[in-house]
Amino acid sequence: MPRPGEITLSHRGVLFLDELPEFGHTVLEVLRQPLEDKTVTISRAQGTITFPANFMLVAAMNPCPCGFASDPVRECTCSPSAISRYRKRISGPLLDRIDLFVEVPSVDYEKLIQPPNAESSTIVRERIERARRLQRQRFDGTSMIINAEMGPVEVWNFCQVDDSAKSLLQAAMKQMHLSARGFHRILKVSRTIADLAEAETIGISHLAEALQYRPASWG
């Protein structure tokens, strides 16, 4: 049990940054330390102090300055160099620290007026709770509670892929020029997808899904 006032790993929040590229370059680069170490260090003339800063970063951005680069109907009016400049505001090292990239297309009028046929949030929540329970059991006796917190040793111990997934992993490493950090991220996301499916080892479908969450092109 945590002592009163003690900040534990379960005390975390969500930091949501809308229009991510509109934040200054320095502001975005400063995020790298808390994303990596879960702490933030503030230095002033009187001294330096480190605070806990364990949060989940959620960010949204347009595909280009006008917002229509991937729209099937509206035409994008941005030049390729303007799109490139816009995307380059998010540095490679910051991108490398983001687990999931999801493109959200605009929704047609016809779809909006139809009744939703997606899974209910209650069912999704139950699946997530089951996966979270699995993760708590996995990290029992450690300070970790979720897969995202695994270091290289835990990734080695808990993120073994089955034989069918090994060649895909090797091909993805080469094609996507993954850094060691990117490689570990793919495996951690794959482990979570396997947990959601209540699968013991990471199979090819779990790995393939995790790979889809990496950005296809960024330039």
Rule CB under 5 A: which residues touch Zn ion?
64, 66, 69, 76, 78
Q: 136 to each of 10, 11, 70, 143, how far by Cα in Å? A: 12, 16, 39, 10
Between residues 69 and 131, which has the closer beta carbon with respect to Zn ion?
69
Minimal distance in Å, beta carbon 82 to Zn ion?
7
Min dist. Cβ of residue 61 to Zn ion (A):
12
How far, in Å, CA of 12 to CA of 14, rounded? 7
Tell me how far, at minimum, the Cβ of 106 lies from Zn ion, in Å.
Answer: 13
Query: Beta strands of the chain (E only): which ranges?
Result: 13-17, 39-44, 47-52, 55-59
For Zn ion, give the closer residue by CB, 34 or 63: 63
Q: Which is nearer to Zn ion, 69 or 194 (CB)?
A: 69
SS3 52: strand
Instruction: Tell me how far, at minimum, the Cβ of 107 lies from Zn ion, in Å.
Output: 19
CB closer to Zn ion, 83 vs 145: 83
Element (H, E) at 95: helix 92-95
User: How would you class 191 by CB atoms within 10 Å of its CB: exposed for 0-12, middle for 13-18, buried for 19 or more?
Assistant: buried
| Segment holding 210, helix H or strand E | helix 204-212
* Shortest distance (Å) from residue 58 CB to Zn ion: 23
- Name the token pair of 81: 């160099």
**What's the closest the beta carbon of residue 178 comes to Zn ion, in angstroms?**
29
Which CB sits closer to Zn ion, 65 or 182?
65
Q: Give the number of other Cβ atoms within 10 Å of residue 71's Cβ.
A: 14
Secondary structure class of 118 (helix, strand, coil): coil
CB-nearer residue toward Zn ion: 8 or 79: 79
